[in-house]
Amino acid sequence: MTVQGKDVDQRVPSVEGRAAMSEANVKIVKDAYAAYGTGDHSAGLAMMTPDVTWESVGQEHDYPTFGEVRRGREGVKRVLAAISDGLEFTAFEPQEFYPSGDKVFVLGYFAGNMRAGARSVKSKFVQIFTLRDGKISGYSEFQDTGAVGRAFRDD
């Protein structure tokens, strides 16, 4: 087919092909959760592209890991260390996985205590993983930033 004078490939993956890709993407995300859940951060980082982007949506004044987009595996390693330094999880439960093209949307719940002052926090979350060539190439997280900020600031 030609569009605006250019040949365009009309091939679209079959329904079966899209379903297989979607299920493969969900497995990669679940494997990454499992690696981090057992403390195997090296395995988790190996599941990411070298140019991965990582973002926890929010304002940095609410919590130090909010707002800035981290780039590369080293950026992810630093942000995960900062989260671990600041928050002791008492629950972390990815509950529902929804694949769509190159993305996997995860709905879940977490609870924990801030290490400074032991104030508790809990929130539902939505985490969006983008995958490329069998690896995680992007991550965005949405949660109750107000609850996290209040626990961090002791409001």
> Where does 1-71 have alpha helices with state H?
15-37, 41-46
Q: What is the CA radius of gyration of the chain?
A: 18
Domain that holds residue 90: 15-153
pLDDT value, residue 116: 82
pLDDT value, residue 5: 58
In a domain, 6, yes or no: no
pLDDT value, residue 4: 56
In a domain, 37, yes or no: yes
pLDDT < 70 stretches in the chain: 1-21, 118, 155
Token reading at 116: 């400074």
DSSP bridge pairs for 114: 87
pLDDT value, residue 6: 56
Indicate which CATH number applies to the domain containing 42: 3.10.450.50
Name the residue type at position 62.
D
pLDDT value, residue 12: 46
In a domain, 1, yes or no: no
pLDDT value, residue 15: 47
In total, how many domains does the chain have?
1
In a domain, 8, yes or no: no
Name the residue type at position 140.
S
Other CB atoms within a 10 A radius of the CB of residue 97 amount to: 20
